[in-house]
């Protein structure tokens, strides 16, 4: 059996913890329960960037605690096509894949909605894991255990600049302030509403004019010297739009000139994936 889980980009600037977008780049995870011991092997372009496979085991233990079902031994072979610790949802892809595997191994007792709720609880916020399940542009709402979302199918291609240094999402969240200036909150409300209004009107490219943010990006950029140099070099190219992908360090921008950008490792030109996770026998 095989499951393909897409990369995701979140926040899209102003939509902090609310907007998430699935991309046509997938981690491929083959698995079989014809084994007596759980083993995990990773190959692919970014496999060498993985420190370990602990997240798979953490998800399995979480699934067992929440459901009461025991995940049987499983043999997993993962092809890592999503950059690791780069703000493109590599951890969310593992969480989604592991929950799917756990559900398959215990009799498919949980619905997709049940698995999404588990994924959100484990991840802590919905904007990465929900679009990994559903595809498309997802507008998420979470209040305690209540999860709601709307999906928009859009046709769009985006360019992501991936640097050669990672960042830790948990550490990046710790540096965010508990309070922000009133005018910054208003700025983000206006941009996020206008972004979504353009999407709803089918004006996809116009929506990208409204990805400006004042709630989280500057704090993350200024906290990391390499990140600051990376973003400043991108901004020196005078892009029409740009935003930090997730917690970073990857940046989405429409520039075509990549000369002189420090730390640049990969340039990924990706279309929106409106299908989401793909399951095959």
pLDDT of residue 170: 80
Give the orientation angle of helix 112-123 with respect to helix 54-67, to 10 degrees: 120
What residue segments make up the domains of the chain, in order of their start?
2-153+272-280, 158-267
Per-residue pLDDT for 171 more than 90? no
* Phi and psi at residue 242, to the nearest 5°: -165, 155
pLDDT tens for 235-256 read 999 999 999 999 999 999 999 9
Per-residue pLDDT for 168 more than 90? no
pLDDT of residue 145: 82
Per-residue pLDDT for 281 more than 80? no
Which residue in the block uniquely carries the two structure tokens 């902090």?
16
Which residue, among 81, 123, 74, 71, has the nearest Cα to 102 in the 3D structure? 71
Token pair for 115: 């698995």
Selected from 3.30.200.20, 3.30.1120.80, 3.30.70.890, 3.40.50.300, the CATH number assigned to the domain covering 158-267 reads: 3.30.70.890
pLDDT tens for 87-111 read 999 999 999 999 999 999 999 999 9
Q: 104 and 2 in contact (C-beta within 8 Å)?
A: no
**3-class DSSP state for residue 140?**
strand
Among 5-9, 42-46, 174-178, 205-209, the minimum mean pLDDT is found in 174-178
Q: Do 2-153+272-280 and 158-267 fold alike per CATH?
A: no
Among 26-30, 121-125, 243-247, 263-267, the minimum mean pLDDT is found in 121-125
Which residue in the block uniquely carries the two structure tokens 């025991």?
70
HSE of 198, CA atoms in CB hemisphere, 13 A:
14
As a whole number, the mean pLDDT across the chain is 96
Confidence of residue 143 (pLDDT cuts 50, 70, 90): confident
* CATH code for the domain defined by 2-153+272-280: 3.30.230.10
């Amino acid at each position: 059996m095989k499951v393909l889980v897409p990369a995701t980009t979140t926040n899209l600037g102003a939509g902090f913890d609310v907007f998430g977008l699935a991309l046509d780049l997938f981690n491929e995870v083959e698995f079989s329960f014809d084994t007596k011991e759980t083993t995990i092997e990773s190959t692919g372009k970014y496999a060498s960037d993985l420190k370990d496979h602990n997240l798979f085991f953490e998800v399995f233990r979480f699934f067992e605690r929440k459901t009461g079902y025991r995940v049987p031994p499983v043999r997993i072979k993962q092809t890592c096509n999503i950059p690791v610790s780069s703000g493109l949802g590599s951890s969310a892809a593992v969480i989604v894949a592991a929950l799917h595997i756990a559900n398959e191994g215990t009799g498919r007792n949980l619905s997709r909605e049940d698995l999404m709720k588990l994924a959100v609880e484990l991840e802590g916020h919905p904007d990465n894991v929900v679009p990994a399940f559903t595809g498309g542009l997802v507008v998420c709402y979470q209040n305690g255990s209540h999860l709601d979302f709307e999906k928009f199918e859009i046709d769009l291609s985006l360019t992501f600049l991936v640097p050669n240094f990672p960042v830790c999402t948990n550490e990046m969240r710790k540096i965010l302030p508990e309070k922000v200036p009133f005018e910054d909150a208003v700025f983000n409300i206006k941009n996020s509403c206008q972004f979504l209004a353009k999407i709803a009107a089918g004006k996809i490219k116009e929506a990208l004019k409204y990805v400006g943010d004042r709630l989280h990006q500057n704090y993350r950029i200024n906290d990391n010297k390499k990140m600051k140099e990376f973003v400043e070099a991108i901004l020196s190219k005078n892009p029409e739009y740009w935003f930090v992908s997730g917690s970073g360090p990857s940046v989405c921008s429409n520039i075509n000139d990549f000369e002189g950008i420090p730390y640049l490792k990969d340039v990924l030109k990706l279309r929106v994936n409106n299908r989401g996770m793909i399951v095959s026998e």
